[in-house]
């Protein structure tokens, strides 16, 4: 199978020491092949990034922002072709793939508008003290398979805008659209500023331990995030970890179940549940529990599951066999416990990793579906009678990415949301993010923040300049 994909190293197209087969999750079959980097390729990329760093970091924020704006424009210009490729390798409906690329462009532009200026800490008769920020050097960006373009653009652009150079590695499950993005990047940025390498898990491990990389920005599972953190300790790399979540939505007794169900359902099932900040658990007040269960089940029965290239498809396949089998295992555990399957629950036979949107009721808090991050289209609805109990149960998890509270009384809901042990607490919404708003997790859902001035400064070292007058 011939490949027309290339790595990007030192501003040029490059082959790799190895190859990767890429599977279309809608068929379960290999449809493309691309080069994969070995250690020598990584060393070349890191050396190129280190050579490019002095000149790139010396440029002004506005000069760097101008390049980022050109990148965003080119993403939009190639949106349709990138979206089709993204759908083939990831599985999501092509319309959602187009939305992902558009979002990556918008977020990139938004990040490049944020001003980073010295902060005056002291200015008195004796001293003038300022806090400055300088770029770290080479940032390694390791991204997952659920939203390859958007989840690469955020940390990559944050690093570039703040004056760093980058080595970017996509997931081996979804390398293709990111490699195409590398082709765009090498026409805009100076040689060595952005390097894009596909490869297996071993490439990620080599990056986290590489002495020439000064920071790792990793998006992925908690378990892998812990390995990244340990490996990065070798030269005390700075790290930003955006990890998994087990987001709870608490639905109060005053909501209209039929009105809120479509919003809850979409926030839980979009991208077939393969979103770190998707709703993973729904706690419904006993007064509306039955009606909400019925309304959610009706949404599930209406959902159209299929190949993402079909315009009628709303929910595509699970992205890879390993995750597909894991979600099936959670479903089987759920059935053994005697829970009620309100909709879905029957995995279709045939090619592809398809799994129907599944709503589960009357489930125990100790079940796998409640305790783990399922990362698939199966969601439990749990009953509560006391708000304090709902908050306690929502917080009873090692995860702390985000959560939400739903009510006709926004002020009441906001007081409850403030008690959630999460990085982001929403009211009457879920999954809403912006380049201007920091995002990240509490507990084991991450370290640091992405987006906003907080996320940008994670790519910079604070430096105090103290002047004795």
Which residues share a beta bridge with 122?
129
Q: What is the number of other CB atoms lying within 10 angstroms of the CB of residue 461?
A: 14
Phi, psi of 326 (to 5 degrees): -65, -45
Say how far apart CA 127 and CA 228 lie, in whole Å: 41
Residues 214, 218, 223, 224, CA torsion sign:
negative
| CA 211 distance to own-chain centroid | 26
- The contacts of residue 404 (CB under 8 Å, 6+ apart) are 247, 248, 249, 250, 267, 279, 417, 425, 426, 427, 428, 429, 430
- HEC sequence for 442-465: CHHHEECCECHHHHHHCCEEEEEE
Phi and psi, residue 93, nearest 5°: -55, 145
Let me know if 34 is a catalytic residue: no
**Residue 115 burial by Cβ neighbours in a 10 Å radius (0-12, 13-18, 19+):** exposed
Residue of 34, 276, 293, 339 marked catalytic: 276
CA distance 79 to 70: 14
SS3 of residue 120 by DSSP:
strand
Q: Which residues contact 201 (CB under 8 A, 6 or more apart)?
A: 172
E strands present in 197-246: 215-219, 238-242
SS3 388: helix
Q: What crossing angle do the helices spanning 61-77 and 94-111 adopt, rounded to 10°?
A: 170
The residue behind tokens 């070349």 is: 44
242 tagged catalytic: yes
143 touches 178 (CB < 8 A): yes
Out of 100, 242, 299, 458, the active site residue is 242
Question: What are the beta bridge partners of residue 241?
Answer: 218, 447
Active site (catalytic) residues:
242, 276
């Amino acid at each position: 199978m011939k490949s027309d994909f290339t790595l990007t190293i030192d501003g040029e197209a490059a082959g790799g020491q190895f190859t990767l087969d890429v599977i279309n999750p809608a068929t379960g079959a290999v449809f493309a092949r691309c080069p994969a980097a070995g250690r020598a390729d990584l060393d070349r990329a890191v050396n190129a990034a280190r050579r490019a760093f002095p000149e790139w970091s010396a440029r002004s924020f506005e000069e760097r922002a101008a390049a980022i704006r050109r990148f965003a424009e080119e993403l939009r210009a190639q949106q349709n072709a990138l979206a089709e490729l993204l759908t083939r390798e990831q599985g999501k409906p092509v319309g959602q793939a187009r939305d992902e690329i558009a979002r990556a462009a918008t977020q990139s532009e938004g990040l490049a508008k944020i001003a980073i200026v010295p902060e005056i800490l002291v200015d008195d008769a004796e001293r003038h003290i300022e806090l400055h920020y300088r770029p770290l050097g080479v940032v390694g960006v390791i991204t997952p398979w659920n939203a390859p373009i958007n989840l690469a653009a955020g940390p990559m652009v944050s690093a570039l805008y703040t004056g760093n150079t980058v080595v970017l590695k996509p997931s081996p499950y979804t390398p293709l659209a990111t490699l195409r993005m590398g082709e765009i990047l090498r026409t805009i940025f100076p040689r060595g500023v952005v390097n894009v390498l596909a490869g297996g898990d071993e490439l990620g491990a080599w990056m986290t331990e590489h002495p020439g990389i000064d920071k790792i920005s990793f998006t992925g599972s908690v378990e892998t995030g812990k390995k990244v953190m340990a490996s990065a300790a070798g030269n005390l790399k700075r790290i930003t970890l955006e990890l998994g979540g087990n987001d709870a939505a608490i639905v109060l007794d005053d909501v209209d179940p039929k009105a809120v169900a479509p919003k809850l359902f979409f926030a839980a099932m979009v991208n077939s549940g393969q979103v770190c900040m998707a709703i993973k658990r729904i706690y419904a007040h006993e007064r509306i529990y039955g009606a909400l269960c019925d309304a959610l089940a009706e949404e599930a029965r209406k959902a159209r599951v299929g190949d993402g290239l079909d315009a009628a498809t709303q929910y595509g396949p699970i992205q890879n066999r390993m995750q597909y089998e894991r979600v099936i295992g959670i479903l089987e555990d759920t059935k053994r416990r005697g829970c009620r399957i309100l909709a879905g629950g029957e995995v279709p036979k045939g090619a592809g990793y398809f799994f129907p949107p599944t709503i589960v009721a009357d489930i125990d808090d100790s079940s796998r579906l409640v305790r783990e991050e399922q990362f698939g289209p199966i969601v439990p609805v749990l009953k509560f009678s006391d708000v304090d109990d709902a908050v306690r149960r929502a917080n009873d998890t090692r995860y702390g990415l985000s959560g939400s509270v739903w009510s006709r009384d926004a002020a009441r809901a906001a007081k409850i949301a403030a008690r959630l042990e999460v990085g982001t607490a929403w009211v009457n919404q879920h999954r809403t993010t912006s380049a201007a708003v920091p995002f990240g997790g509490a507990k084991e859902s991450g370290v640091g923040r992405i987006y906003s001035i907080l996320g940008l400064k994670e790519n910079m070292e604070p430096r105090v300049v103290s002047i004795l007058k």
